[in-house]
Structures are given as structure tokens and as C-alpha cells.
């Protein structure tokens, strides 16, 4: 009876839907197999993991299919029978099937590029990229032979459609009246509605191995899920305590020797930071370097010699060896460096609505008589950077400030870093000419796929690999520092070099600590003695530490510590993705996850290995307090 039903269905017009679902599952399974082989060394091979990858993978492929076929179902439902059976309409059917097949194959290729870059399925990053199609499509065209890829896919789609044309023609054999078509269509359309309310991306998080979890998902579905969940309510999705408790805990943890609270209001963390002695009105140049992992430097064991200048500079700087980024995106790094707050789930605050007039590092410098500037080598509208910084006490300068003849090289992300630094040097001198000291935050772009830069600067040809891009950025920073050293204002300036995040965040665990380790160098030979600082430190601690070095007294709403005033043993760091919130202290990592879940790991910092361990309730409470209070503070306007 079932065979007879399937045969009859296949000979009716909805047989085309069965063909499309079958094709989707085959392509998805082949994509999964390719990813599995590519990442084989990182997948813990076990019966449970393999079974989970296959079974959960098939389930999510079918869930994705229920959404993917909606337009085709609507068409097959509504097109009249008299049109459907005409000879010319079969070419319309071939065309529609060709288009849907092309989308599936193109998605498979796009997923490969995304997996190669991030070692994950589509996620929050992919959603962000879809918003900025100019940069992303430009990056793809510069990185890959996209025209040839599309041509190949068109040929392959044509071959598949031709191979299946007899089966498509067979769907015209049995006529189906509108009433019966409506029954079929409503059943098919009911599935995505049911799945929307009952299925989430969490179900395939079955393993302790992050790669197995990613392989068991479906890229299209993950993109859809990430779009729906790009802003997560801490209150709704995470373990929590009362807001009164969370702020009481945080107020206690933020108490340090150089601060005192100026209010007894429970949700107010405003503190007066007091330093004795004169303030040092030194210029500050902060360079946040795109994707500069600590392990690119020979100082951390790299043997490729791709950061010769930074390695040399580290011997003449305050060199912080245990600094950890808060996230995996540039906007998350900019958030940490400017707001000095723990990451909140979902979007970075840089990208969120109502992010104006916040308490930022730029605001403190403005209050001290500085001119604060954010200088970017690309167009400032990308990732909402221009809006965020211009509405938070910074003047924004981007590539529009450069004339064509001032640009040696540019790609879709921005101008070459050496041209960015030429612009920055000019802007610094413009600020100083006005009689004000300057706080200048520079964001580089060259260490980004397609890894292109001017020829002849380094010994690795442009468009070769990330190592070349890292070495070029190192060259450009060296050229900039050497140029500044000849200026009259050099001895009155502090240079801060820090990464926005690491080059890769993928690992065998949800939050691999090694993928958040970044370098920090603070260089000012006339003002600072070289020193290695080996204390654990979060990216959000840089702002308060820098202000402490300048001996500034000010009112603070920052969540970061001045590391030089903090008592030993109180160090902690925050690491995150858009939904996994990690808190590290006392060699343990607590990971807060949606659906009120958590994981705990023991960390060996000598090799940055991690082993699952039992929950530490006191540490979990601390993690909840930090993250819950920060999320509440932003949503309620308390960061202003």
C-alpha cells in the first residue's frame, strides 16, 4: 500500500517535491561527509558521535527541507491543472527545479568556504555577513574564482536536471484537482509550522566534541536559527539569580583598593577611582590588530618569523602574556576595548540599537581634555562602527579621508595597513596642532581574507595565506612606530598594540581557551620600563589599566580592573561566542549556555588544555552575576 501511495504521489505533481527533498538530503549528506573528512583529526571517533552525526544530521536535513520546499509547494498547489499539463510548462518545471538545485549546490560550496574559515556551520557571523553584502561579496570575489565556480555549478545543475527530467515529466501523468492539491499542500506546509515551534538548534548539541555537534547540524537551518536568535535575552535563556543578588555580587567583586562607591543604589556600580599625584596627560595611540592570535608571535612559540617587529618590540614594552579576548568578532573586541564590559549574549553592543551615549573610554579621555578618534581603514558603516563611535565621544575617520593617490593598495575590507597608519599619523598631528592631547584608536584590516597587500614589502607574496597577512601587518606597524619615533610628540606618547580577537575560534570544546589568547604590548620608552606581565587579564581590563598608568582619577562604570591595582588572586577573564558565555578564574572555566545549561572545565594554562570537571557552585554564581548584571545594565540604560 505504501509503495502504491509513493508511486501514485511520484506521478502526481507533488512528486517533484519528493525529488527535491531527496536531492537536498543527498547534497547535505555529501557536504557533511566532506566536512567530516576535512576535520577528521578533531572529531572524537566513537559510536555515539558517528551515530549522532548521521541521525541528527538526517533529522535536521529533513527539517531544513520542510522550510526549503515552501515556495515550490505553493507553486505546485496554485498553478492550474490546464497549465500544468501543457507541453511548454514542463520547461517551467525544469527551470524551477534547476533554480532550487543551484541554490542547494551553491549553498554547499558557500558552506565549505565558511567551514574552511571558521570550522563551524553557518552561525551568527554568517548572519552579520549577509547584512554587509558589498564587503562580503567583494571578499568572496577577491578570495576565490567565483565566476568559474558559478559556471561549474550551472553545468552541474543542468546535468542533474537533465538526468531527472523523465522523473519530472512523470509528475504530469496523474492530474490532481485543486481540492486534493490543497490537502497535500496543507500537510506539507504544516511541517515547517510544527518544526518552527518545536525544533531548535540545541537538539544536535549532543556531544562534548564541538566538531561532532557542528557536523550533525544543517547549514541552512543553522543560518535560519542564528538569524532568529542573534539577540538573546539573558533573563529568558540563561541560569540566573535575582537582579538584586547579581548586582550585590558584582559590586563586591568590583571593589578594589583605589575605588569607592559613590552611591548605595543597588544597581549602580559607579565608583570613584582615586590616584594620588599628578595626572600624566600623555597621548595614547591604541592599535587594535585584526585577528592577531598570540600564537602568531615567536614570543609564544611560533617558529615562522611572521611577527619580527612585534617580537622585537615586546622586549622594550610592557608585554602582557596572559591576555584573553572576550569574543570572536571585531565588534566584540571593539566593545571590550571601548566599553570595558563583559560580552552580552547575541549581538555585540556595537551593533545593537540604543547604543548611544554610553560610558566609554573615549568619554573619560574627553573629560580629561583629549580629542578621541577612531580611525578605520575601511568604510565606517561596516558593522555599525561609525555610528557607534561617533555617538560615544569619538570622532570617526575612515578611508573616505584618503585621496586615491594616497592609497598604495586596497581590497574590499579597506586600504593597506601602511596607508591606514599614514592617515592615523596625519590625524594625530592634526589633534596635537589644536592644542589638545590625543587618544587615537586605530583598527587594522589587512589580516583578513583574501590576505592581500602591496607587493615587495615582505618575503611572502600577497594573496598567499594568513601568515603573509600577519607579517605584512607586523611590517606596517613597525613602519608606523619608526616614523612616529622621529616626531616631536613621540616621547609624550603611549602606544598600545592589542588584538581584537584570534584568527580562529574553533576547537574541540565549545569555548577553547587557547583560541582567545591574544598579545598586548604597551610601548613608551620615555615613560615605561620594559616588563613581562604574566598575570591573567581580560580584554576589558585594558581600559582601566591604561587609565591607571596615566594616574587618572575619574568616575567609573567599567567592569574591568586596573590590573596593577588588583590584589593577586582576583584575576578573571571572559570568553564567549554569541550564545556561549565563559568565565575563567582559579584555573576553571564555567560556560553558561541557553536553556539554563552550564559546563565546567579544569584548565591547565601551561598548555591551555581543558578537561570537564564537576560544577563549582561559587564560581558559577560569580559567572552568572557578571553576565546577568551586564546584560541588565545595557537593557535598562545603566551603561550610560
Which pLDDT tens digit goes with each residue over 165-186? 888 888 877 888 898 889 989 9
Lowest mean pLDDT among 141-145, 329-333, 525-529: 141-145
Is residue 472 included in any domain, yes or no? yes
Q: Indicate whether 294 and 440 sit together in one domain.
A: yes
- Output phi, psi for 273, to 5 deg: -95, 120
**Domain housing 36:** 2-228
Return the pLDDT at 47. 93
Q: CB of 118 within 8 A of CB of 291?
A: no
Cell of 603: 584548565
Domain identity same for 204 and 254 = no
Burial 540-563 (b: 16+ CB within 10 A, else e): bbbbbbbbbbbebebebbbbbbbb
Residue 512's nearest CA partner among 603, 444, 433 is: 603
Q: Say which CATH number the domain at 368 has.
A: 3.40.720.10
User: Looking at the domain assignment, is residue 640 inside a domain?
Assistant: no
- Report, in this order, helix, strand and coil percent for the chain, each rounded to 5: 50, 15, 35
* Residues 291 and 213 reside in one and the same domain: no
Total number of domains constituting the chain: 2
The per-residue pLDDT for 136 is 66
Q: What average pLDDT is seen over the chain?
A: 92
In a domain, 536, yes or no: yes
Which among 179, 210, 228 is the end of a domain? Answer: 228
End-to-end CA distance of the chain: 68
Residue 560 has pLDDT above 60, yes or no: yes
- CA dist., res. 585 & res. 315, Å (int): 28
**Does the pLDDT at position 602 exceed 50?**
yes
Domain boundary among 191, 208, 228: 228
Do residues 283 and 494 make contact, with C-beta atoms less than 8 angstroms apart? yes
* pLDDT recorded at residue 3: 44
Do 524 and 579 fall into the same domain? yes
List of residues 6+ apart from 633 with CB closer than 8 A: 267, 269, 341, 639
The tens digit of pLDDT for each residue in 222-279 reads 888 877 766 667 887 799 999 999 999 999 999 999 999 999 999 999 999 999 999 9
Instruction: Over range 556-578, report the average pLDDT.
Output: 96
pLDDT for 616 beyond 80 = yes
Indicate whether 292 belongs to any domain.
yes
Residue 208 has a pLDDT of 85
Q: Are residues 130 and 218 in the same domain?
A: yes
What are the start-end ranges of the H helices in 371-500?
A: 385-390, 417-433, 466-484
242 and 218 both lie in a single domain: no
- pLDDT per position as a tens digit, 573-600: 999 988 899 999 999 999 998 878 899 9
Contact 380, 344 (CB under 8 A): no
The pTM for the full model equals 0.79
Is residue 627 assigned to a domain?
A: yes
Decide if 610 is inside a domain.
yes
Same domain membership, residue 148 and residue 250: no
H-helix segments, 458-565: 466-484, 542-549
C-alpha cell at 402: 584618503
Query: In the predicted model, is pLDDT for residue 545 greater than 90?
Result: yes
Query: Are 200 and 225 a contacting pair, CB within 8 Å?
Result: yes
What is the percent of the chain with per-residue pLDDT over 90, rounded to a whole number? 74
Same structural domain, 158 and 188: yes
On the question of pLDDT at 103 being above 90, the answer is yes
Give the model confidence (pLDDT) of 491-529 as tens digits. 999 999 999 999 876 665 679 999 999 999 999 999 999
pLDDT given at position 379? 93
Same domain as 494, residue 425: yes
Q: Is residue 559 part of a domain?
A: yes
Same domain, 312 and 176: no
In a domain, 346, yes or no: yes
Do residues 216 and 293 both lie within one domain?
no
d(CA 337, CA 325): 10
- Final residue before a domain boundary, out of 194, 228, 262: 228
Please, which residues have CB within 8 angstroms of residue 364's CB and are 6 or more apart in sequence?
547, 552, 554
Cα separations in angstroms, 502 against 135, 290, 342, 534: 21, 8, 17, 19
**110 in the same domain as 19:** yes
CA-closest candidate to residue 127, choices 347, 335, 327: 347
What does the alpha-carbon distance between residue 323 and residue 499 come to, in Å, rounded to a whole number? 10
The Cα–Cα gap between 234 and 453 comes to 41
- Degrees, nearest 5: CA angle 32-36-39: 135
Instruction: From 378, 424, 375, select the one nearest 396 (Cα to Cα).
Output: 375
**pLDDT confidence of 121, banded at 50, 70, 90?**
confident
Amino acid at each position: 500500500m505504501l509503495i502504491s501511495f509513493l508511486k501514485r504521489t511520484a506521478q502526481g505533481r507533488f512528486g517533484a517535491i519528493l525529488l527535491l527533498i531527496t536531492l537536498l538530503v543527498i547534497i547535505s549528506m555529501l557536504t557533511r561527509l566532506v566536512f567530516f573528512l576535512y576535520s577528521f583529526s578533531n572529531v572524537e571517533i566513537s559510536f555515539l558521535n558517528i551515530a549522532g552525526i548521521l541521525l541528527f544530521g538526517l533529522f535536521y536535513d529533513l527539517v531544513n527541507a520542510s522550510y526549503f520546499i515552501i515556495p515550490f509547494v505553493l507553486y505546485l498547489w496554485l498553478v492550474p491543472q490546464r497549465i500544468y499539463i501543457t507541453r511548454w510548462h514542463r520547461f517551467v518545471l525544469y527551470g524551477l527545479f534547476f533554480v532550487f538545485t543551484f541554490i542547494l549546490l551553491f549553498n554547499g560550496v558557500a558552506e565549505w568556504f565558511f567551514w574552511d574559515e571558521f570550522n563551524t556551520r553557518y552561525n551568527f557571523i554568517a548572519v552579520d555577513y549577509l547584512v554587509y553584502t558589498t564587503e562580503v561579496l567583494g571578499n568572496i570575489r577577491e578570495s576565490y574564482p567565483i565566476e568559474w565556480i558559478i559556471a561549474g555549478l550551472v553545468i552541474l545543475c543542468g546535468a542533474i536536471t537533465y538526468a531527472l527530467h523523465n522523473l519530472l515529466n512523470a509528475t504530469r501523468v496523474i492530474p490532481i484537482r485543486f481540492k486534493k492539491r490543497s490537502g497535500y499542500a496543507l500537510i506539507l506546509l504544516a511541517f515547517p509550522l510544527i518544526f518552527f515551534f518545536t525544533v531548535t538548534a540545541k537538539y544536535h548539541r549532543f556531544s562534548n566534541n564541538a566538531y561532532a555537534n557542528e557536523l550533525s547540524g544543517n547549514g541552512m537551518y543553522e543560518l535560519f536559527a542564528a538569524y532568529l536568535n542573534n539577540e538573546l535575552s539573558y533573563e529568558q535563556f540563561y541560569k540566573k539569580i535575582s537582579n538584586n543578588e547579581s548586582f550585590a555580587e558584582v559590586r563586591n567583586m568590583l571593589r578594589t583598593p583605589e575605588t569607592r562607591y559613590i552611591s548605595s543604589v543597588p544597581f549602580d556600580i559607579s565608583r570613584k577611582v582615586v590616584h594620588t599625584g599628578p595626572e600624566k596627560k600623555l597621548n595614547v595611540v591604541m592599535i587594535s590588530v585584526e585577528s592577531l592570535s598570540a600564537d602568531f608571535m615567536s614570543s609564544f612559540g611560533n617558529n615562522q618569523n611572521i611577527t619580527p617587529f612585534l617580537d622585537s618590540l615586546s622586549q622594550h614594552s610592557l608585554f602582557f602574556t596572559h591576555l584573553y579576548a572576550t569574543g570572536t568578532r571585531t565588534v566584540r573586541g571593539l566593545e571590550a576595548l571601548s566599553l570595558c564590559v563583559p560580552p552580552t549574549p547575541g549581538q555585540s553592543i556595537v551593533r545593537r540599537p540604543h547604543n548611544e551615549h554610553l560610558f566609554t573610554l573615549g568619554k573619560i579621555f574627553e573629560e580629561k581634555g583629549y580629542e578621541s578618534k577612531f580611525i578605520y581603514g575601511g568604510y565606517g558603516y561596516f558593522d555599525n562602527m561609525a555610528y557607534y563611535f561617533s555617538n560615544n565621544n569619538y570622532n570617526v575617520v575612515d578611508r573616505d579621508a584618503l585621496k586615491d593617490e594616497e592609497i598604495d593598495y586596497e581590497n574590499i575590507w579597506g586600504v593597506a595597513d601602511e596607508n591606514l597608519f599614514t592617515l592615523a599619523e596625519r590625524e594625530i598631528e592634526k589633534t596635537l596642532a589644536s592644542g589638545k592631547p590625543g587618544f587615537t584608536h586605530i583598527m587594522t584590516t589587512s589580516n583578513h581574507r583574501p590576505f592581500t597587500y602591496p607587493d615587495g614589502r615582505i618575503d611572502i607574496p600577497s594573496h598567499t595565506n594568513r601568515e603573509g597577512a600577519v607579517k605584512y601587518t607586523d611590517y606596517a606597524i613597525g613602519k608606523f612606530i619608526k616614523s612616529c619615533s622621529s616626531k616631536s610628540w613621540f616621547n609624550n606618547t603611549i602606544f598600545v598594540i592589542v588584538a581584537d580577537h584570534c584568527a580562529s575560534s574553533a576547537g574541540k570544546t565549545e569555548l577553547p581557551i587557547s583560541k582567545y589568547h591574544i598579545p598586548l604590548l604597551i610601548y613608551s620608552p620615555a615613560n615605561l620600563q620594559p616588563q613581562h606581565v604574566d598575570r591573567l587579564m581580560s580584554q576589558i581590563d585594558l581600559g582601566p589599566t591604561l587609565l591607571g598608568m596615566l594616574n587618572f582619577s575619574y568616575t567609573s562604570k567599567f567592569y574591568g580592573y586596573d590590573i596593577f591595582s588588583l590584589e593577586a588572586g582576583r584575576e578573571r577573564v571572559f570568553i564567549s561566542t554569541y550564545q556561549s558565555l565563559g568565565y575563567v578564574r582559579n584555573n576553571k572555566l564555567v560556560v553558561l549556555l541557553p536553556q539554563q545549561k552550564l559546563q565546567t572545565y579544569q584548565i591547565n594554562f601551561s598548555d591551555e588544555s581543558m578537561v570537564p570537571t564537576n560544577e563549582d557552585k561559587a564560581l558559577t554564581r560569580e559567572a552568572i552575576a557578571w553576565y546577568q548584571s551586564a546584560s541588565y545594565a545595557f537593557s535598562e540604560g545603566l551603561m550610560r
